[in-house]
Amino acid sequence: MTKKEAMTTKTDQELLKLLALTRAELRTERFAAAGARAKDSNSPKKLRATVARVLTEQHARSANSRQVATA
């Protein structure tokens, strides 16, 4: 999984791509878990945490850009 330092170094496009891939992987994990036992039961939790990290970084960047624009 990616850490906070890795999130701050990624570009906006990389964050969008990571968000889309992580959400798709989470969706497949969720439906795969309905049919059979999952190999890694903590995987959905890790994926949700990654999605939250990406969204937090995107929000921080947008809030920072709004703050700079108003100043």
pLDDT at 66 over 90: no
Residue 45: predicted pLDDT: 93
Is the pLDDT confidence value at 16 over 90? yes
Q: Which domain holds residue 17?
A: 4-70
DSSP state of 8: H
Tokens of 60: 């921080």
Query: What CATH code is carried by the domain that includes residue 39?
Result: 1.10.287
pLDDT level of residue 1 (50, 70, 90 thresholds) = low
Specify the higher pLDDT residue, 3 or 43: 43
Q: Total domain count for the chain? A: 1
- DSSP result, 19-59: HHHHHHHHHHHHHHHHHS--S-TTHHHHHHHHHHHHHHHHH
pTM attached to this predicted model: 0.81
CA distances from 28 to 25, 39, 54 (A): 5, 13, 19
pLDDT tens-digit readout, 37-47: 767 888 999 99
